[in-house]
A and B are shown apart, each in its own frame.
Chain A
Amino acid sequence: MTLVLGFSASNALVWIVWLAAAFACLGSAVAVISFSNPFYSALALIGNLGSLAVMYLLLSAEFVAAAQVLVYAGAVVVMFLFVIAYVGPRRETPWSGGPGWQTIGAVAAAGALLVEIVVVVGMQASGNLSHETKVGAEFGTPAWIGRIFLIDHLLAFEITSVVLLIAAMGGVILGSHTRRAT
């Protein structure tokens, strides 16, 4: 696992963009879980999604970056904001509610999960991740994605549409349920 830094100008530029996106990503992720107002959490999630879209562009996945901004920032977060506005402001103190052992246990469990991921990835992939393959200019373009999505992975595409349809039906059923007389 060699982390050799090249010193060409374009390489340095990519590093700077990557570092900025990584800091924005981690900072907004911490902001999502530590704001007491869920409205600000949802706004911080937009920042997180935007910095991840920059990461996808650096990984030459242009179509996924565009879909990320459209689907997540454009649809999912807006839906979150509407529902947060609908249920009204409910404040919560993020780090002090509940018994202290719960907080300590949650931090320990999340830390254990992180260590587990790092160890497993390091064990399984440390040999494979050092030498990279060249990618062509068409890698990640919409035409390329469309070709492999609609030819090689057509079943996944169709099943995704069924999943979305069923979820939409479930949302309608949950949302239109009348209040039971108590």
Chain B
Amino acid sequence: MLGPDVVWYVALSAVLFGIGALGVLIRRNVLVVLLSLELMLNAGNLALIALSRHFHNGAGQIFALTVMAVAAAEVCVGLGLVVALNRRNLSLDVDTLSELRG
């Protein structure tokens, strides 16, 4: 394979996953937490595709496409929740959203 070894891709995806996890843990705005979740999903996708290329196995790419569809579903429900919260004039701060009943 031309260019970097697969280890570089996997290391990059680990760092990206760490940055996304940091964003989920450290931010309090629901929208930014959702964006950081997208970062984590993308890090997983990068590792899947790098290893799919490395082992010449198409299942990794299929799994990455499935992860994309699940991420779209997650964003759909998450943004629906954000809109529902905003309609009820609730705060979008995850620290104050500590109970399940609206």
Contact A164 B69 (CB under 8 A): yes
Cβ-defined contact, B76 with A170, below 8 A: yes
From 153 to 182 in chain A, residues with beta carbon under 8 angstroms from any chain B beta carbon are 153, 156, 160, 163-164, 166-168, 170-175, 177, 179-180
Q: Which of B16, B20, B49 contacts A59 (CB 8 A)?
A: B49
Given A55-B9, A132-B1, check contact A42 B35 (CB 8 Å). Answer: yes
Do A64 and B61 contact each other (CB < 8 Å), given the known contacts A114-B15, A170-B77?
yes
Q: Is B100 an interface residue (CB 8 A)?
A: no
Given contacts A25-B12, A41-B35, contact A132 B4 (CB under 8 A): no
- Quick one: which of A15-37 are within 8 Å of B by CB? 15, 17-18, 22, 25-26, 29-30, 32-33
Determine the residue in chain A with the shortest Cβ distance to B80. Answer: A174
Bound CA–CA A3/B9 (angstroms): 12
Is A61 touching B61 in the complex (CB atoms < 8 A)?
A: yes
Task: Tell whether A174 pairs with B25 under 8 Å between CB atoms, given A26-B16, A76-B38, A80-B34.
Answer: no
Task: Kindly name the residue among A56, A71, A95, A110 whose own CB sees the greatest number of chain B CB atoms within 10 A.
Answer: A110
Known: A133-B55, A164-B73. A90 touches B92 (CB 8 A): yes
* CB of A5 to closest CB in B, whole Å: 9
Do A14 and B49 touch (CB < 8 A)? no
A interface bracket (residues with beta carbon within 8 Å of B): 35 or more
Cα distance A133–B53 when bound, in Å? Answer: 8
- Asked whether A137 is an interface residue with its Cβ less than 8 Å from the other chain, the reply is no
List the B side residues contacting A15 at CB < 8 Å: 3-4
Q: Min CB distance, B49 to chain A, in Å? A: 5
**What is the distance, in angstroms, from B69's C-beta to the closest C-beta of chain A?**
5
Whether A123 is near chain B, meaning CB under 8 Å from some CB there, is: no
28 contacts between A and B (CB under 8 A): A1-B7, A3-B8, A17-B3, A22-B8, A25-B16, A33-B36, A33-B39, A41-B31, A55-B49, A59-B50, A67-B65, A83-B31, A83-B82, A87-B82, A87-B86, A92-B27, A97-B28, A110-B21, A110-B26, A113-B18, A114-B14, A121-B14, A129-B10, A129-B54, A148-B58, A160-B70, A167-B74, A179-B87
Q: A11-B3, A33-B27 are in contact. List 18 more A-B contacts (CB 8 A).
A: A10-B2, A26-B15, A33-B23, A61-B49, A61-B64, A64-B49, A68-B68, A71-B69, A95-B26, A106-B25, A109-B25, A110-B25, A129-B54, A152-B58, A152-B59, A164-B72, A167-B76, A171-B76
